[in-house]
Amino acid sequence: MYYKLICSDLDDTLLTSDGRVLPEVKDAVHKYVQNGGKFAIVTGRMTAGAIPVARMMDIHGEIATYQGAHITDIDSGRLLFSETIPTADAVRVGRYLEERGIYYQTYIGDYFYTAVATDYTRLYGRLSFADFVETKYPLSRYLEENAVCPPKLLIMQSPDRIPGTLVDLREKFGKEFLINTSKPFIIEIVPLSVNKAFAVRRLAERYGLSVQEVVCVGDSENDLPMIEFAGVGAVVNNASDEVKSHADFVAKSNDEGGLAQVVDFFGSLDAPYVR
């Protein structure tokens, strides 16, 4: 086995569009692990919304969440690594968003927080299997009063507004934060020192592996750092043309078991060396 670690995004990559794990995906991952491979989920999701999927798949070891801002042991739930946004910076960005009437939320422990729940709040809760808390007053004020240093701020808007908001936020805060998308209606803001490639590097080093022995699979803009970093960068076919242009391998879509195709192909004993 040449590729000894496979790292996968969760939403729209490992999971189907309606949030299911296909049997062939679970079977391919189990076979790969039984043959000596390592498999890890690397997701933008909050930890509380990602670990249940890992446990449902009977995956062990470490999981990277919040785009790598947190790395957690799946079995014990113990936080192994954490990078957060300083309170003052989170408050400053929050106030900027509030002044523009932009919905956003943040994360504390096993819950996500927002000022007043909207349809976006409830949608996110359903997608991530997580519960939320309403502060009932500006979220920036709550962060300041409670000295919260969050791992991530997340914006939800209609897809037609996302490109303009991305440009504005990157011009205003792009030198301080990593600002990218994970779905057509989501913008994520994380510490500038954090991305999925950072998380994959930590995992590879923990297992004593070189980058050339790693395969990363994703579908979205926030997956690009790890796709470009890995020995093999793969995408599922539902990825955008822009994301596909950075990949070494394009698999079937998430709804067609694309991750299973990647695991079966690159996890085999005679998988070809790509880079």
Q: pLDDT (tens digit, 9 = 90+) per residue, 216-241?
A: 999 999 999 999 999 999 999 999 99
pTM of the model: 0.93
Residue 270 has pLDDT above 70, yes or no: no
Structural domains of the chain in order of their starting residue, each with its CATH number:
5-82+194-266 (3.40.50.1000), 87-191 (3.30.1240.10)
Q: Which of 106, 105, 104, 111 is nearest to 48 (CA)?
A: 111
- How much is the pLDDT for 274? 57
pLDDT band at 271 (very low <50, low <70, confident <90, very high): low
What's the whole-number average pLDDT of the chain?
95
pLDDT band at 272 (very low <50, low <70, confident <90, very high): low
Q: Which of 159, 217, 162, 153 is nearest to 188 (CA)?
A: 153
Q: pLDDT (tens digit, 9 = 90+) per residue, 188-214?
A: 999 999 999 999 999 999 999 999 999
Q: pLDDT (tens digit, 9 = 90+) per residue, 137-187?
A: 999 999 999 999 999 999 999 999 999 999 999 999 999 999 999 999 999
